Amino acid sequence: MRLIREGVAASPGIVIGQAHVLHWEVPRVPHASVAEPEIEREIERLHDAREWAKGRIRQIQEEAARRLGPVEAQIFEPQILMLDDTELVGGVETYIRENHLSAARAFEWRILELRSQWSHASHPMVMDRLNDLEDVEIRVLNWLLGLPDPDHTTAVDGDGIILVARDLTPSITVQLDRARILGIATDGGTRTSHWAILARSMGIPAVVRLGDLSDHVQSGDELILDGRIGRVVVEPAEEERRKYLEREARIQVWEKELAIFAHVEPVTLDGRRVSLRANIDLPAEAVPARDHGAQGIGLFRTEFLVVGRAAMPDEEEQYEAYRRVAEAFPDGAAYVRTFDVGGDKFPMFLHMPAEENPFLGWRAIRVCLDVPELFRTQLRALLRATAHGDVRIMLPLVNDVEEIERTRELVAQEEETLRRRGIPFNAGYKLGILIETPAAALDAAELARHADFFSIGTNDLVQYTLAVDRTNARLSKLYNPFHPSVVRLLHRISTVARSGGIEVSICGEMASNPLGTFLLLGLDITALSVGWPSIPETKKVIRSICIADAQRAAAQALTAATASDVIRCLEEGIGDAIDLSTYAER
């Protein structure tokens, strides 16, 4: 049965293959009670199961450390912490003692109770926590019921398949054989799910939030998975299949051609040099980014260090992560974004308040300044990392000069702390801000007096300028980075930054769109940062155009009345320099 499902792109790539539907359901627990003399023995069994589960997760964590790196392996800490959580374990012991339930039945009851409490929140971070909870539940119950620990790697039959599941977990993902798994499609999940971050790091294309896709797909069905736009096609028609196969063949040829661009400089036809950097989520991505031709890191998202954690990450763990990225680019800069928590990223230890609109609430720099013990530790770790390379501190969602001033006061205090401890750092580091709101864009002249650089986060800037949730599929047609208001804000920010003598760069998805690249260069924004897989294709765009043509097209776009007019100006300006249809296929 032919079916098309639109979801959320979680890891880029287009693949065609047979589906393998993976079931990893919670085992059925029979009702069982225990006599009074057996209660303590049943509690002992509970703790034996906990210790075994922690040991097994540690083994998986060690495997992840070998394959991806020690920092990435920390993504399993939430599951280990859950198994020691008094809220969970204490509740199970109470059910055993007071209700005379078996350990398995009591554990199931307590998990159901916690899931009911947590499910009232719709935040993606809470959904990720439920995802980890279910992984823990399956492992503990299997031990208590005498069932084998599921080995999902052996459950996958065949090579070159697309994994379809209700959802995945980090422990499943890290054990997947990249040579056998072409892609992943899940009913639930988020782009920031722990397993999705691992999939990106492993280079596995993935689409999430596909509804009930796993109920409509059978193992062996042919699927087309587009991890660029977030689409899955089940049992495509022959003509549709043929077109995708042709596209796949063209893309493979194109990607081989693009591989050449990893080793050339990003310079326009008329000699304008562009700084081209990469966006990364994990330290392990720094080396692949460098190998793809990135000249540095334009956005290092640090939330992986806190999301899902029951305790704040210590200074040493953070320092090792930042140092690792800095050392991958001895001749390039690494822009490290301070914790952008809130919105859809909620550390367990912060007890984030329920908010009607969390993206307009307590998040990013607001959280950091309100929780100085978290912020100070990160600032010390970042300062220490400056001794190993050009590490730059980037503050997210800044609207007010006072937010920069308060941060500089904290940084100065932590500098003194490091001096007293005799720990080296580079006192010439730079501290700048992300421009992500219309307020910051309009107040750019004042902000430029206090910041060493600007980086424009186009994803949020578009969202806040147009009042369109970029994750809302119903509003996707309204989320348009080429809206005239967005273009004029970009022009204003660029003009102010150049007048103030500070660098302005782009680290949002707009820079990976060929028309977006053309527009940004035309607005004299010549420092771009994109997802590292997009580095070669962005470099090809840069080397195929003249900056003078881009400037003329951008000047016309600034007078356009509609987004369609803006796009028309850019398409006419770029002319035959770029085959835009090739990029549209990706």
Catalytic choice (194, 292, 388, 483):
194
Identify the sign of the CA torsion 473, 477, 482, 485: negative
DSSP state of 76: G
- Report the C-alpha gap between 83 and 105 in whole angstroms: 16
CA angle, corner 242, sides to 237 and 244, nearest 5?
Answer: 95
Q: Coil, strand, or helix at residue 84?
A: coil
Helix axes 514-522, 535-544, angle to 10 degrees: 50
Q: Which helix (H) or strand (E) holds 505?
A: strand 503-506
Catalytic residue status for 31: no
Helix ranges (H only) for 226-362 are 238-261, 286-291, 315-328
Helix ranges (H only) for 23-123 are 39-67, 70-73, 77-83, 86-99, 103-118
Catalytic residue status for 152: no
**Contact assessment for residue 116 and residue 33, using Cβ atoms and an 8 Å cutoff:** no
**Contact assessment for residue 264 and residue 536, using Cβ atoms and an 8 Å cutoff:** no
Which residue in 237, 124, 215 sits closest to 164, CA to CA?
Answer: 215
Query: Residue 225 — φ and ψ, nearest 5°?
Result: -115, 120
Catalytic choice (388, 483, 507, 569):
507
Residue 147 region by backbone torsions, left for phi larger than 0, else alpha for psi between -120 and 50, else beta: beta
Q: Report in angstroms the alpha-carbon separations of 216 from 122, 162, 169.
A: 25, 14, 21
Query: Residue 93 — φ and ψ, nearest 5°?
Result: -60, -40
Which residues are registered as beta bridge partners of 505? 455
* Three-class DSSP labels, 419-467: HHHCCCCCCCCCEEEEECCHHHHHCHHHHHCCCCEEEECHHHHHHHHHC
Which amino acids are annotated catalytic? 194, 507
